Amino acid sequence: MKIKNVSVYTCLQPLKIPFSHASSGLVTNLEGVYVKLEAEDGTAGFGEVRGNCSYFTGDTTGAVVSTICSAIAPKMVGQDAENLNVLHQIIEESLVGNTAAKAACDCAAYDLAGKLAGKPVYELLGGKLNDRLPSEENIPFMTVEEAEKRAEEIIDSGCRFIKVRVGGQQFRYDEERVSAVWDVIRSRGVQDEVVYSVDANQAWNTREAIRNLNRLAEYGVTIAEQPVHYNSPIRLKELKENCPMKLFGDECVATVEDLARYIEMGAVDGIHIKLIKCGGIYNAVRLMNLAKAHEIEYMIGGMDEGMMAVAAAVQCGAVAETKLFEVHGHVRIKADATSGLVVHGSVVEVPDGPGLGVTVREEMLKKVFSAI
Ligand SMILES: [Mg+2]
């Protein structure tokens, strides 16, 4: 079955609650970019990526759309929709970098292949290991009192993976919130069950990170995500040698090639896998396999992004050999164009429908390109 048409859409996604962390600034809207692949029989597959990620991947919505329309989509028309290896080669060889644009096309290819086969994507990946994905809950920049209340809500909801955003203007403010949340965790008697992590989103230099993380380790924190700038394995390695907790790379480890370099350097204990960074489902599975072979822990996650994008990460989570998930980045969107993903508190159900297992309402999207 050939791909007969590729279309690209955008969708502005206002947030119920704006967010900000050490590198994002205030984000009030997400900007979804959707790719639709249509087969000769009219079956359609969709993929989504968030466009306004300049602080994270360097992407803007316009750049992602332009890259898909000019460099990737025209090459997918006429290809066999069921041959994911060939489609992956075409996407990868279209141009270097540009993993966000590639991810949208890759996820659409998996959605279409799954729908044509009448199978969920996890079956195309070999079969499901997880039915439900208990996801991490965030404690953003807020007052100590608000952080305590949020921690109580998180623990009482049954969630056992908590991440505090750190790297604010004053470390004292970070330490007070991390300490207060640890007190809540201990007062609830769940300190042996909770995975307690912090994410500094590159806020610190190496010296600051060594000092700050050694302080935060006193409060039960066992994972520190991306404390220092993304572009140096040497910084992370120095930190790893002087820090008592596990170091997870997020911004610094995007692709399979990045992970190979960080493994060679011995610079990380774990990585945060996101489809927007690695280029989609195909490469996420490669990252999982490489990480496992080198005893690197991994988290399956994503950005704050639309449900279609999250659904692709959920399919990866279904086949992942990890307990670390962050796959409900869509829950703060006011009106998502996609439906079908079921979330109970912080637990995401893996959908069993064909493809990515969700449905998009095309009338909520704005068409910007079509290649036939
Ligand atoms: Mg992160």
Q: Are 262 and 253 in contact (CB under 8 A)?
A: yes
pLDDT at 231: 87
Ligand 1 centre to CA of 124 (Å) is 28
Please tell me whether residue 284 adopts helix, strand or coil conformation.
helix
**345 dihedral zone (left: phi>0; alpha: psi -120 to 50; beta):** left
Ligand 1 centre to CA of 104 (Å) is 20
Q: Are 52 and 13 in contact (CB under 8 A)?
A: no
Ligand 1 centre to CA of 81 (Å) is 34
Q: What residue type is assigned to position 165 of the chain?
A: R
pLDDT in tens, the chain (372 residues): 999 999 999 999 999 989 888 788 899 999 999 999 999 999 999 999 999 999 889 999 999 999 999 999 999 999 999 999 999 999 999 999 999 999 999 999 999 999 999 999 999 999 999 999 999 999 999 999 999 999 999 999 999 999 999 999 899 999 999 999 999 999 999 999 999 999 999 999 999 999 999 999 999 999 999 999 998 899 899 999 999 999 999 999 999 999 999 999 999 999 999 999 999 999 999 999 999 999 999 999 999 999 999 999 999 999 999 999 999 999 999 999 999 999 999 999 999 999 999 999 999 999 998 887
**135 dihedral zone (left: phi>0; alpha: psi -120 to 50; beta):** beta
Please tell me whether residue 42 adopts helix, strand or coil conformation.
coil
pTM reported for the whole predicted model: 0.96
DSSP state of 58: S
Instruction: Give the integer Cα–Cα distance in Å for 141 and 197.
Output: 14
CA angle 178, 181, 184 (to 5 degrees): 155
Ligand 1 centre to CA of 2 (Å) is 38
Ligand 1 centre to CA of 25 (Å) is 14
C-alpha 187, offset from chain centre: 31
Ligand 1 centre to CA of 164 (Å) is 11
pLDDT at 24: 84
Ligand 1 centre to CA of 201 (Å) is 6
Q: Which domains can be identified in the chain, with CATH numbers?
A: 3-118+361-371 (3.30.390.10), 124-356 (3.20.20.120)
Ligand 1 centre to CA of 148 (Å) is 21
pLDDT at 289: 98
Residue 82, both tokens: 């069921």
Please report, in angstroms and rounded to a whole number, the separation of the first and last CA atoms in the chain: 15
Instruction: Give the integer Cα–Cα distance in Å for 148 and 191.
Output: 15
pLDDT at 243: 92
Which residue reads 């991810």 in tokens?
103
pLDDT at 369: 85
Ligand 1 centre to CA of 158 (Å) is 22
